[in-house]
Amino acid sequence: MIRVEELSFAYPKAAGPVLRGVNLSIPEGEAVLVVGPSGGGKSTLLRCLNGLVPHFHGGSFAGRVSVDGEDTLKHQPRELARKVGLVFQDPESQFVADVVEDELAFGMENMGVPRLTMRKRVEEVLDVLGIAHLRRRRLDTLSGGELQRVAIGAVLTVQPRVLVLDEPTSQLDPQAAEEVLTVVQRLNSDLGLTIVMAEHRLERVVQYVDRVLYMPGDGSVASYPVRQAMERLPIAPPVARIGRALGWAPLPLSVREGKPFAKRSALPPLSDTRSDAGDSQASVVVEKAHLSYGDADVIRGVSLHAFPGQVLALMGRNGAGKTSLLRSLVGLLTPRKGTVSVLGEDIAGSSTEELTRRVALVPQDPASILFHDTVEGEIADTLKGTGREGSVEEALAEWRLESLRRAHPRDLSAGERQRAALAAMLVGRPPVILLDEPTRGMDYETKRLLMDNLRRRCREGCTVILASHDVELVGSCADRVVLLAEGEVAAAGPTRDVLTESLTFSTQVNKLFGDRYLTVEDVLAAEEMERIGASNS
Amino acid sequence: MLSTARGKAGSTTASRQTATPWGRSAQDATGPRAGAWLAWLAAASIAVFLTSNPLYLATACLVALTVYASIPGNARQRVYGLIIKVGLFFALLSIPFNLLTGSTGPTVLFELPRLTFPGWLGGVTLGGAATAESLLYAIDRALRLIALLLFAAAFNVGVDHYRLLRLMPSALKQMGVVITVSVLLIPQAIGQARAVMEAQRLRGRAVRGLRSLAGLTVPVLAGALERSLQRAESLDARGFGSLDPSARGRNRWAVLLSVGGLGLAAGGAFAYFYYGGTPLTAGAAMASGFVLAAFAVRVQGEGAGGSRYSHESWTGRDGFVVGCALLSTALLILLRLLDTGDATYIPYPSVTAPAFHPLGALAFLLLLAPALASAARNGRRREDEDD
């Protein structure tokens, strides 16, 4: 279906090529996952498949890409639209119409599909994607998962042979991501559609795909059958990492496949290893706070305590009030009732500008804060604005940005931009750090760096509060969890208590081993103890 | 008042979270059809142009505001809320400006210092006596501006732009899509400006003065540019503009023909208004120009290579809106022809109280039709839910 021969490509004015001598062949009906660090050329490769590269982006292109026998160099993307449907990261940036049904028909209208055929195809796609109930809804009233499903539907009505998805879930919460990935999997297994998808959340997709294309960032592409990829590549979901470490064969890719192995290994019950706050005094205290936008209450009577040296995670569905709560801790939202105090002081009278000296909040879209010409300029600006003491050098080193210090933030890859934004917001060692969905769309490498840096800051006595849907992140770095639902506290306590008694908010490792196991490290340590115990006796 | 009703980043998110996934909910796009809205806007514009009575114009403003408020919340309200505020500011500003730039009439309200420019600067006089006649005249003009603005805002927020596009000839559809897409970018840019302002505060910078404006402009513009590129990319990937190749040659001729036709029409109008051309020759030139342009647009449409998904079905509510619009226009024209109903009002030579005729008022109240239709529908839905 897709053949790529000796493909090399460089963007106009770029220092070097993004793709170098790539050779690939994807047969019809296969589901292929494209992985690799951000900035490694995944999006570029996907855009080669429908001719957007080079027709839309320009640049120097060598080699040949053909889809269903058609050379992408000889055909414009709008002609290839009949063969290849491309779904982008942000669904809202691709819509034209106001209503779902009209959006689904837009592509067909462009191609002059007869009206009766259009009608039939719209009905079919509504059913296949399970969005028939949304047909008359306005697009601006849909949730993120619904929007992305409509975006997929909008390219499917043209009946393409290949569906290409560029990180379709990076803007979504886990529930919405699940909705979208389930649909994609069905399109592949029920309709035999060829799928090529870039995606960071391996634990969600790896069990559905046939093959993995790994792009390490040097312009090359390595192709592996999925199980082989999980055995060899540096990135893998927790279940595969455990399987690899413990020599499980064939390597499990999902909780279901891993369960029999986990049963056999019969690990002992886990004693809690995390230290508690002890007698230290809480650095952030929220007492019976009520927060509202206009007439709508988003937080109702929430109390919480965060301690120095600990990470507190706020979890819950979209709209549960996590972001609002974080905003109130830095004075962007004033409680209607109740109090908020930071480092022993009630913040009621302080402005956000004053508070930023002690409290740093990294917003959901960190890239939106960057506006200087250089990365070091961004960092220096925060130091000047907040009056914190710190060094630009230290921040550059902490977030591995030394080589990019003079780069323009808009020229950076998504992952680099996230690092630049984190460096700019967290410079000067503020004693309280607030992070809003820090790992959304983040690659494994940046995520690991974030976790390491947060742990180090905690050891230095910093208080970290993070709002996140990312169960794996919370499981491996949070000390305590507050689970919010409808603006109220639904559960609160040590991470191991909250995450191990939950159906949806539990890690892959906990689903495998149960008890109080949360992370790959927990399992490996217990296994090691077992082995030592066995050899001693 | 407008901004409290809706138009906040938070409220959009809230409506998303409470979106019901079943049935025809409040978020269903079931307002009057695009054609009905168009008829309503035409009637409203005609009504505003046919009257200069400040009482009727004030009624028109209230009617437009009621219709605007009756439309279920959507993202466009954020944009038009802002446009209405800016428009109101300038309309109100025009009142003192009118007084300052020349008052006539016998009823002097107060005296302003007089400043006369020398002859080589136009010899204009500013200030002097401010009269009640001029004040009323200025208020009347501001009211007309506000009424037009509110009607246009209600139309733009209420109508489904994409379906409006379907009513256009195929040849103009591509241009229409481009305009629709550009309009979509505005609410996103406003949302981003808010986020950037907040991010600035989080970096210890109060958003005040020109310096902070620079910090605001660059990320907002860069973000808008990035999104526009993404959208262009997506339009390309979805086959937008995939013209039938055989039609391309014919297309060029059609463009030339339509430009020629429009030129002929404009020439006719120009000759009539500025060079005293006879109505017959000017009219003939304009008519033939328009016919030529229409023909060219039709020819071009045949080569546009697109098709249309569906024509909207006509409901009783649409009939009601169109009927009310037609009745309103007919009533006003009739009143003007019979010279009753006090549609016209001139505060000169001296100020008098504007008259108020029930039939004239009725013509404006008929324009409440979209609001009445949606109220009736909401009432019915509530009854259904109670059952």
The string of DSSP letters for A80-91 reads HTTTEEEE-S-G
pLDDT, position B12: 36
CB-CB neighbors (< 8 A) of B205 in chain A: 353, 381, 385
pLDDT, position B171: 67
Q: Where are the beta strands (DSSP E) in A418-496?
A: 432-436, 463-467, 480-485, 488-494
Q: How far apart are CA A429 and CA A461, in angstroms?
A: 10
- Whether the per-residue pLDDT at A466 is higher than 50: the answer is yes
**Mutation site for B-interface testing, chosen from A110, A120, A123 by largest number of B Cβ within 10 Å:** A110
Is residue B109 in a domain?
yes
Q: What pTM did the predictor assign?
A: 0.78
Out of B261, B277, B302, a domain closes at: B302
**Mutation site for A-interface testing, chosen from B160, B203, B246 by largest number of A Cβ within 10 Å:** B203
**Mutation site for B-interface testing, chosen from A352, A370, A371, A427 by largest number of B Cβ within 10 Å:** A371
pLDDT, position A170: 75
Q: How far apart are CA B378 and CA A503, in angstroms?
A: 40
A368 with B29: Cβ contact below 8 A:
no
A296 with B238: Cβ contact below 8 A:
no
Angle at which helix A444-459 crosses helix A414-426, to 10 degrees, equals: 10
Is any Cβ of chain B less than 8 angstroms from the Cβ of A12? Answer: no
- pLDDT tens string A111-131: 888 888 999 999 988 988 888
From A248-252, A396-400, B240-244, the region with the lowest mean pLDDT:
B240-244
Please indicate, yes or no, whether residues B165 and B42 belong to a single structural domain of this protein: yes
Q: How far apart are CA A301 and CA A314, in angstroms?
A: 15
Please indicate, yes or no, whether residues B133 and B272 belong to a single structural domain of this protein: no
Q: Identify the band that residue B208 occupies on the pLDDT scale cut at 50, 70 and 90.
A: low
CB-CB neighbors (< 8 A) of B29 in chain A: 98-99, 136-138
Please indicate, yes or no, whether residues B270 and B351 belong to a single structural domain of this protein: no
From A202-216, A415-429, A501-515, the region with the lowest mean pLDDT:
A501-515
Is any Cβ of chain A less than 8 angstroms from the Cβ of B234? Answer: yes
Tell me, which fold does domain A2-236 have in CATH?
Rossmann fold (3.40.50)
Please state the φ and ψ torsions of residue A325, each to the nearest 5 degrees.
-60, -45
Please indicate, yes or no, whether residues B158 and B255 belong to a single structural domain of this protein: no
**Mutation site for B-interface testing, chosen from A98, A115, A379, A411 by largest number of B Cβ within 10 Å:** A98
> B269 vs A26, which has greater pLDDT?
A26
Is residue B115 in a domain?
yes
Could you say which DSSP state residue A37 is in? -
From A60-64, B15-19, B370-374, the region with the lowest mean pLDDT:
B15-19
* Other beta carbons less than 10 A from residue A255's beta carbon: 18
Q: Identify the band that residue A290 occupies on the pLDDT scale cut at 50, 70 and 90.
A: very high
A385 with B21: Cβ contact below 8 A:
no
- pLDDT tens string A150-169: 999 999 898 899 999 988 88
Please indicate, yes or no, whether residues B383 and B250 belong to a single structural domain of this protein: no
Work out the mean pLDDT of chain B and round it to a whole number: 78
CB-CB neighbors (< 8 A) of A85 in chain B: 237
Q: Identify the band that residue B305 occupies on the pLDDT scale cut at 50, 70 and 90.
A: low
Tell me which residues of chain A, numbers 431 to 470, contact chain B at a CB-CB cutoff of 8 Å: none
pLDDT, position A486: 86
Work out the mean pLDDT of chain A and round it to a whole number: 88
Percentage of residues in chain A having pLDDT higher than 70: 98
- Whether the per-residue pLDDT at A61 is higher than 70: the answer is yes
Is residue B182 in a domain?
no
Q: How far apart are CA A137 and CA A116, in angstroms?
A: 22
Please tell me whether the peptide bond between A238 and the residue prior to it is cis, using omega within 30 degrees of 0.
no
User: How many secondary structure helices (H) and strands (E) does chain A include?
Assistant: 21, 20
Please indicate, yes or no, whether residues B280 and B143 belong to a single structural domain of this protein: no
Q: How far apart are CA B333 and CA B20, in angstroms?
A: 46
Is residue B353 in a domain?
yes
Q: Among A121, A113, A96, A147, which Cα is nearest to B165's? A: A96
Please indicate, yes or no, whether residues B260 and B115 belong to a single structural domain of this protein: no
Three state DSSP letters for A323-368: HHHHHHCCCCCCCCEEEEEECCEECCCCCHHHHCCCEEEECCCHHH
> A339 vs A39, which has greater pLDDT?
A339
| Closest chain B residue by Cα to residue A48 | B237
Tell me, which fold does domain A282-358+431-495 have in CATH?
Rossmann fold (3.40.50)
Please indicate, yes or no, whether residues B5 and B154 belong to a single structural domain of this protein: yes
Q: How far apart are CA B139 and CA B98, in angstroms?
A: 9
pLDDT, position B9: 37
Is residue B187 in a domain?
no
Is any Cβ of chain A less than 8 angstroms from the Cβ of B19? Answer: yes
Domain boundaries, chain A: 2-236, 237-266+507-537, 282-358+431-495, 368-429
Dig out the tokens for A319 from the structure: 């709209």
Q: Which domain holds residue B281?
A: 245-302
Is any Cβ of chain A less than 8 angstroms from the Cβ of B298? Answer: no
Number of structural domains in chain B = 2
pLDDT, position A461: 92
Exposed / middle / buried, residue A250 (Cβ in 10 Å: 0-12, 13-18, 19+): exposed
Please indicate, yes or no, whether residues B284 and B363 belong to a single structural domain of this protein: no
Please indicate, yes or no, whether residues B37 and B145 belong to a single structural domain of this protein: yes
B237 with A78: Cβ contact below 8 A:
yes
Tell me which residues of chain A, numbers 200 to 219, contact chain B at a CB-CB cutoff of 8 Å: none
Is residue B8 in a domain?
yes
Percentage of residues in chain B having pLDDT higher than 70: 78
pLDDT, position A531: 81
Is residue B204 in a domain?
no
- pLDDT tens string B57-94: 999 999 999 999 888 776 677 778 888 998 999 999 99
Same fold, A2-236 and A282-358+431-495: yes
Largest Cα span, chain B: 78
Is residue B5 in a domain?
yes
Phi-psi region of A127 (alpha: psi -120 to 50; beta: other; left: phi over 0): alpha
> CA triplet B62, B64, B69: central angle to 5 degrees?
95
Query: What's the sign of the alpha-carbon dihedral A368, A369, A373, A379?
Result: negative
- pLDDT tens string A471-498: 888 998 899 999 998 889 999 999 888 8
- Whether the per-residue pLDDT at A205 is higher than 90: the answer is no
Exposed / middle / buried, residue A157 (Cβ in 10 Å: 0-12, 13-18, 19+): buried
pLDDT, position B302: 62
Pairing of strands A359-362, A432-436: parallel
From A432-446, B171-185, B312-326, the region with the lowest mean pLDDT:
B171-185
> A449 vs A365, which has greater pLDDT?
A449
pLDDT, position B209: 65
Q: Among A397, A326, A392, which Cα is nearest to A364's? A: A326
- pLDDT tens string B331-371: 988 888 887 767 778 888 878 888 888 888 899 999 999 99
pLDDT, position B26: 43
Q: Identify the band that residue B15 occupies on the pLDDT scale cut at 50, 70 and 90.
A: very low
- Whether the per-residue pLDDT at A190 is higher than 60: the answer is yes
Beta carbon pairs, A and B, within 8 Å:
215
Q: Identify the band that residue A508 occupies on the pLDDT scale cut at 50, 70 and 90.
A: confident
pLDDT, position A165: 92
Mean pLDDT of all residues in B279-290: 80
Please indicate, yes or no, whether residues B328 and B290 belong to a single structural domain of this protein: no
Q: Identify the band that residue A462 occupies on the pLDDT scale cut at 50, 70 and 90.
A: very high
Is any Cβ of chain B less than 8 angstroms from the Cβ of A330? Answer: yes
Please indicate, yes or no, whether residues B263 and B369 belong to a single structural domain of this protein: no
Q: Which amino acid does the sequence have at A288?
A: K
pLDDT, position B42: 92
Which residues share a beta bridge with A311?
A464
pLDDT, position B23: 33
